[in-house]
Amino acid sequence: MKRLDASAPGFAADFAALVDDRRESASDVSADVAAIVARVKAEGDAALADYTARFDRFDLDASGWSISKDECAAAYEGLAPELRDALNLAAERIRAYHAAQLPEDRDYRDAAGARLGARWRAVDAAGVYVPGGRAAYPSSVLMNILPARVAGVERIVMVTPTPDGAVNPAVMAAAHIGGVDEIWRVGGAQAIAALAHGTPRIAPVDVVTGPGNAWVAEAKRQLYGVVGIDMVAGPSEIVVVADARNDPRVIAADLLSQAEHDPTSQSILFTDDAAFGDAVAAAVAAIIPTLGTAATMATSWDAHGAIILVPTLADAIPLCDRLAPEHLELAVDAGEADALFAHVRHAGSVFLGRQTPEAIGDYVAGPNHVLPTGRRARFSSGLSVTDFMKRTSFLALDDAALAAIGPAAVALAEAEGLPAHALSVRNRLQSGPL
């Protein structure tokens, strides 16, 4: 774990190294993924069956390619009531938050008399990738499916690996709540290729979303353009800005809430009190051995964690912007949190005040927990309904509107050396009213 002091002479270089640290997998999987994608495109279901047997030790032809809606409904009914209620509460809040994101169509006339506007429509089909290994999270199922359903997508397809045939009942129950149309027991880069190109069994989709390992992320990157994607996501990260009025054990748990995701996750604390930073470090060390994810947390914290001392918490915000973190906690009094938040430019999601842990956002808050990582919050946003929609602009001119703006179009077309463009407009201008 790194300890940095913003007042120290070498801080600028040390912090720049922290910002530039790329925690994505060091191995180059692009060639392997390209081969998998090409084979799935050429061989279809046969390639999926072979890869599933090799990587997941599961025979699709013998045991079944899909999970039925009835199986998902049974899994839902079989959940402990407390977990079923929690999933329903999460779904209700996620659905309501994303319903408020729905964009409005526009249709208006401007000063020239031209009719302008745009119409939003959902894509026809969306594919959702659900991991089945280290990260099998029913919350991610809801976060990906419900925005698509709210957007109006008619066909939602889920792909998920089932290693050794094992299926997570909570994941199936979440699929039931979300209303998935199809679930296929395939995973990895080969599942992304199947969603993009289609196979005899699996019809192609228009958009693919959802988290995955390095092979899944690379497949999404390579197939963008064949399909739309949400983002190419990397390891999880959290930045906490906290003063000494917090309980060190509370802030330590917040930092570890992301460290437990993966050994390459990152947790960073900014504080204006050195003694508080020491107390948080001690609390982290005390908590790690007590939890079942100790090995993952310890590796993440030791390799990528950091505690950074700043003169004031306001000084932390420009540094946070350079990190552009996936999650940013402002663990201070409500009024101060709002004041700091007013200056935040780059973050995937921000959690305001002492009583707003990031973990709430992962489950039941409502905003999406599929967020940009690896400093991508500088230019991208979390998953929303608009990731499952597209905007079609439209234009309608009458004689007066064409006369008002047409000559300028002719001049620009001629300046660009495109005479047919100019002729297309000039013909109408010269022919007069129709």
Report, as residue numbers or ranges, the catalytic residues.
326-327
CA distances from 12 to 6, 17, 95, 278, 307 (A): 8, 9, 43, 22, 15
- DSSP class of 301: H
Kindly provide the residue ranges of all beta strands, DSSP E only, lying in 278-380, ordered along the sequence. Answer: 306-309, 327-331, 349-352
Instruction: Give the span between the Cα atoms of 152 and 389, in whole angstroms.
Output: 8
Report phi then psi at 339, rounded to 5. Answer: -65, -40
DSSP classification of residue 224: B
- Calpha distance 332→320 (Å, rounded): 15
Hey, is 266 helix, strand or coil? strand
Sign for the pseudo-dihedral over CA of 192, 194, 197, 198: negative
Q: Which of 154, 187, 155, 185 is nearest to 62 (CA)?
A: 185
Give the separation between CA 184 and CA 176, rounded to whole angstroms: 14
User: Which residues of 59-185 form beta strands (DSSP E)?
Assistant: 106-109, 115-122, 125-129, 155-159, 182-184
331 φ/ψ angles, rounded to the nearest 5 degrees: -90, 75
User: Residue 137: helix, strand or coil by DSSP?
Assistant: coil
β-strands 106-109, 115-122 pairing: antiparallel
Q: How far is CA 91 from the centre of its chain?
A: 17
Task: Give the Cβ contact number of residue 196 at 10 Å.
Answer: 25
Calpha distance 147→135 (Å, rounded) = 21
For tokens 């290693």, what's the residue?
163
With residue 358 as reference, give the H or E element that holds it. Answer: helix 358-363
